[in-house]
Each structure stands twice: as C-alpha cells, then as structure tokens.
Amino acid sequence: MPEPPATGIAIWTTFLFVVSAFNLCAWVFVAAALVRSRPHLSPSLYAVRRRQLILSALFVLGCAFRSIVPRADVQRICFHDSWLSSVAVGRTVASVAEVAFIAQWAFLLREAAREVGARWVTRAARLLIPLIVVAELFSWYAVLTTNYFGNVLEESTWTLVSALVLLSFVQLWFRFAPRLRPFLGTSLFLLSAYFVFMFAIEVPMYVSRHRVDTDNGRGYLTPAQGLRDSALRRVVTRDWNDWKGEIPWMSLYFSTGVWVSLSLVRAPDFGNARS
C-alpha cells in the first residue's frame, strides 16, 4: 500500500480538487448567464457563444477529471490505483479537451477577423486546429514509447500556436475599435506570459529529460508495446520528488487555463468592431 501523502502533496491535490469544483460551478454560472441574456442577443451572436460554451464544457470537464485523477504520462505515475488513472484513459480525455480548447481560439479569431477583414488572421485561425491535432499525435508518440522527444515536439507545436495567436491579436489591435482594447490587452498579456513560459520553461524541461534518457542509454517501447503498457501499468506514488516536475504546469493549466476558456464564452461582441 502506498504511504500517506506528504503535506505538500496533500495541499496540492486539495488545491486541484477545490479549483476543479470552482471551475465546474463557474461553467454553470456562465451557462445560466448566457441563457438569461438570450433575448438581448442577436441569433448569430447567441449561436457563437453557445458553441463556445459547449467547447468550454469539454475543456472544463477534461481538466476537472485530470485534476481529480492526476497522472504523468511517460513516467506512468498516478495518485490513485484505479483504471481511471491509466495513461491511456487520461491521455484520451486530455486530447479531446485540448482540441476543444484550441477550437475556441480558432473560432474566436475567425469571427474577429471576419468583422475587420484581417485575412492573415483568418489564415492563422485555420491552422490552429490542424497544428494541435499534430501536437496530440506527438503527445501520443511520447505516451506510447515513453520517449520524451515526443513531448519536445508537442510542446514546441503549442509554442508555435501561441505565437500565431499572439501575432493575430497584435494585428487585430490596430484594426479594432477602442471599446475592444481592454479585451485585446488582457489577451495579449496572457498570451505573452504563456509563450514565455512555454519557450523558457516547458520546452527546455522536456529537452532536458530527453537528454538525460539519451545519456543513460534508456530503451524505449514500441507503439504496440506502449499501447498495452499505457493501459495497464500504473505506478502509484505520493512522493513529492516524483511529482515536483509536474506540479507547476498542472496547477496553472487546470486553473488559469480553464478560466481563459470560460472567458472566451463571454468575449465581447465583435460586430462593428472596425476602428
């Protein structure tokens, strides 16, 4: 039987649980607010926000599941000895949630670009979902083979996507009316922080892990071996040292990431947005 979690791990998992409960309640609040506002919205705007709400639900539920049943894919470590903690289940949930999240951004950019005639932004929006599907394939490669190089490619793709979205908002800044500047400014700040985090911390972390494995001559699984291994092998651990590398990104992802998803449901009306 695993030993009881240390104080630090207990605080962290409690934080994840509380944040997940808050996020679920927040989604219900946002959904109720959208229903109440329907009489005051045009049919097209209501349809846009309803689509964002559905996509946000997938992301919020996916993050809540991953918060309550935390795991680390390549290491095969988890907190609970349950089939729900298997890497195969968790990665499937994560893939659906992440594609839904990037779809929110793609639809938002497409809507904004259409209103102000920003063709470059429209092209960038069309690239987002295909790029993240590719990133998910890289992630699955890492999951199945336990080779961190897949994570290097995955996180590098997410960094590229964040750069595309960031540049898109820069272009929209000069085309949008002043009333939309607060939304744009907040988006630019968050996207810049995310890009810096990915470029300076997240990608280098996986590069370092891959280099250590290479220096140690570690062998990797074949995809066929990895499919069975990811479904069946679970290493239950509550040791801080096993989780400390995952805690920063998981804490930010399952809190701030979800709040961004919810905020996209309540993005401003881009009608008559031209400056």
Distance CA 87, CA 130 (A): 23
Q: Is the pLDDT higher at 24 or at 173?
A: 24
Q: Is the pLDDT higher at 20 or at 172?
A: 20
In which residue are the tokens 């905020």 written? Answer: 263
User: What is the predicted pLDDT for the residue at 243?
Assistant: 93
User: What is the predicted pLDDT for the residue at 161?
Assistant: 97
Q: How does pLDDT run across 234-271, given as a tens digit for each residue?
A: 999 999 999 998 999 999 999 999 999 999 999 888 87
What are 227's two structure tokens? 């499919």
Query: Do 136 and 95 contact (CB within 8 A), yes or no?
Result: yes
For the chain, the average pLDDT equals: 92
Q: How does pLDDT run across 113-150, given as a tens digit for each residue?
A: 888 888 999 999 999 999 999 999 999 999 999 999 99
Rounded to 5 degrees, what are φ and ψ at 77? Answer: -90, 150
Distance CA 275, CA 273 (A): 6
Residues 6+ apart with CB under 8 A from 201: 248
Q: How does pLDDT run across 184-206, given as a tens digit for each residue?
A: 899 999 999 999 999 999 999 99
* Spans of all domains in the chain: 7-265
Residue 30 Cα distances to 26, 104, 232, angstroms: 6, 15, 38
Q: How does pLDDT run across 144-168, given as a tens digit for each residue?
A: 999 999 999 999 999 999 999 999 9
Q: Lowest mean pLDDT: which of 2-6, 50-54, 177-181?
A: 2-6
Q: In the CATH scheme, what is the code of domain 7-265? A: 1.20.1070
User: What is the predicted pLDDT for the residue at 7?
Assistant: 85
pLDDT class for 1, splitting at 50, 70, 90? very low
- Beta-bridge mates of residue 77: 72, 235
